Amino acid sequence: MGMASPKTYTNPVYSYQHSPDQDSVTAVHHPVIIVGAGPAGLSAALDLALQGIVSVVLDDNNTVSIGSRAICFSKRTLEICDRFGCAAPMLDKGITWNLGKVFNGDRLIYEFNLLPEQHHKMPAFINLQQYYFEEYMVERAEQFSEIDLRWLHKVTQVQTDDNLAQIEVETQDGKYRMTCDYLLVADGANSPIRAQLGLESSGQVFEDRFLIADVVMQSELPTQRRFWFNPTFHAGQSTLLHRQADNVWRIDFQLGWDANPEEENKPEKILPRIQKMLGEDVEFELEWSSVYTFRCRMMESFIHHRVYFIGDAAHQVSPFGARGANGGIQGVENLTWKLAKVLKKEAPEDLVKTYDVERQQGAKENVLNSSRATDFMTPKNKTSKVFRNEVLNLAEAYPFARSLVNSGRLSVPCVYDGSPLNTEDTDDFPTKIRPGSPAIDAAITSADGKQWLLECLGGRFVAMICVKESNRLSMERLRQQITELMREAEEIDVLLVNATASGEDMLKEGCREISDTKNLIEQRYDLKPGNVYLFRPDQHVCGRWRSFSAGNVIGAMRRALGYELEVR
């Protein structure tokens, strides 16, 4: 639907490659095939590769996103990309922002600061055009021999039963077939494969239209998210202005349900609209534009036999809150370690089905938040509109009303409360972080040069144990338990926090050691001497105890690996 093609960006062209699979008489089998090389599909391939799992990625196009689409990438997404090894160019190119301003008419009614806590490696958000985001992922993917990325290979047919998925692929050299143990479908919001399998993604369409325009301009405007309800330059509707890389600015104009999408996407219509907003003397060029009607919907189950839906194919949200790509990548992260464990026969097959349990919860949260923001922007009847406007009118003078103003509740990762993989607390702990939560980062120091806690977690199970100031007796007990843990559970890495001199020999036995020099781990985790946290390979907490016993930790790991799941 894009009209102008970007001026500041040239889409890379990835060439078609003929695969030996195409010459095989019988369908070649792969453990994992991924359909779609968007943010979801690429994340899946990268995370699986890190776990040593080979995959084939098929995309029907030969480039990254045409036009920008997603621009806001959240802290959690950047942390995940950092694990993949591609966050650095994103941070380099992206624009970091913290401040948001909300206007009612032309008056500023309040500001919010995303107030990132100090001492996290990643900022709260960056703004970066989706094509750059994908390009950096592709560059990273090309470094893995585990990833067989095939451009201009279009999947045309999918069949599946409980044992296998079979696909047909169309290329310029003709058709070929493949089979796989797991087919990850990341073919986007309209997912032709979902439709072909007779499955649905259901939810609501918001009766409204939005013009999304990216413009290039040299501007002194500060790097802030600015949102207007009913400004004079666009009376009766809302507008969003946000900065991206390369002096590109994203503008969203709410148009109303009666607007004609084709008319509204004509330059003669768009240019004056933007000029009016920016001011008569501002020079700009239109980079890309499109008119959207937004919807929130999700599949009832993301799993269909051997077919696993990920990203927008599984769940789609309206963009206010930036929960689309961000939520999608978090979903992928949830799936990949489980899939790797199952494929390596290190966990029962049912583990991978908990992807559906945990990410239904995540997707519902994203749908709920995105729907509420969209409803606030597009009230469904007159009374709702009156309430909305009066919230805005009260918000300037009264802080309480600001808490109701909703121009998007920005993406935060889901806490998997109640997940069957959690070992619930038996000891007294604060609940800000809890079983099911993603790890909270913290600046640390370590002998091997790591500076961030999150760099020490992920990929494997990690038991984080605080050993500071323990007396000789408790130290002896701790050493025994650690030795037992390492003997009984090879899958768990032991991470000692603040090991004292007597911890030196534990280090030699294969533990890693970090120092909580700024007491951040103590503050953020309430981690005291003798306490332990167990993290899953996706960095989520799966259990914690005030007193460390190898048996408890191993039990929690087994639960997180799905050994305690009720047989269905």
Partner 1 sequence: MGNLNLKPNFSDPDSFYAALTELHRDLDPDQSERINARIILLLANHIGDQDVLLEAMRIATESPE
Ligand X SMILES: Cc1cc2nc3c(=O)[nH]c(=O)nc-3n(C[C@H](O)[C@H](O)[C@H](O)COP(=O)(O)OP(=O)(O)OC[C@H]3O[C@@H](n4cnc5c(N)ncnc54)[C@H](O)[C@@H]3O)c2cc1C
The window from 140-148, 182-190, 274-282, 369-377 that contacts ligand X (CB under 6 A) reads 182-190
Question: What's CA 205's distance to the chain center, in Å?
Answer: 23
Q: Does 231 bind ligand X (CB under 6 A)?
A: no
* Closest to ligand X by CB, 70 or 561: 70
- The answer to whether the CB of 309 falls within 8 A of the CB of 363 is no
Query: Does 186 help bind ligand X (rule: CB under 6 A)?
Result: yes
Partner from ligand X, partner 1, none binding residue 390, C-beta < 5-8 Å depending on class: partner 1
Sign of the CA dihedral 190, 191, 193, 194? negative
With respect to ligand X, which residue has the nearer C-beta, 171 or 498? 171
Instruction: Give the Cα separation of 376 and 52 in Å (integer).
Output: 45
Backbone angles phi, psi at 335, to 5 degrees: -80, -40
Q: What are phi and psi of 187, to 5 degrees?
A: -95, 20
Q: Which two tokens stand for residue 8?
A: 């500041």
Cβ-contact 95, 127 below 8 angstroms: yes
CA atoms within 13 A on the CB side of 179: 12
Pairing of β 147-151 and β 55-59: parallel
Instruction: Select the residue interacting with ligand X from 6, 45, 53, 69 (CB under 6 A).
Output: 69
In a 3-state reduction of DSSP, which class is residue 426?
coil
CB of 393 to partner 1, least distance (A): 8
Q: Tokens representing 502?
A: 């007597």
Q: Which of residues 4, 37, 138, 439 is near ligand X by CB under 6 A?
A: 37
Q: Which is nearer to ligand X, 94 or 562 (CB)?
A: 94
Q: Which two tokens stand for residue 141?
A: 């993917």
Distance between first and last Cα of the chain: 45
List contacts with partner 1 (CB under 8 A).
383, 386-387, 389-391, 393-394, 400-401, 404
Selected binder of ligand X within 56, 58, 128, 444 (CB under 6 A):
58
**DSSP conformation class of 319:** S
Contacting residue, 94, 100, 231, 324, with ligand X by CB under 6 A: 324
For residues 382 and 568, which CB has a smaller minimum distance to partner 1 in the complex?
382
Site for ligand X in 254-293 (CB under 6 A): 292
Q: Which is nearer to partner 1, 118 or 383 (CB)?
A: 383
Whats the size of the chain, residue-wise? 568
Tokens of 284: 């700009």
- Identify which range of 36-44, 231-239, 456-464, 489-497 contacts ligand X by CB under 6 A: 36-44
78 binds ligand X (CB under 6 A): no
Given partner 1, ligand X, none, residue 435, with its beta carbon under 5 to 8 Å by kind, binds: none
Catalog residues that contact ligand X under the rule CB under 6 A. 35-41, 58-61, 69-72, 130, 154-155, 186-188, 192, 212, 292, 311-313, 319, 322, 324-326, 328
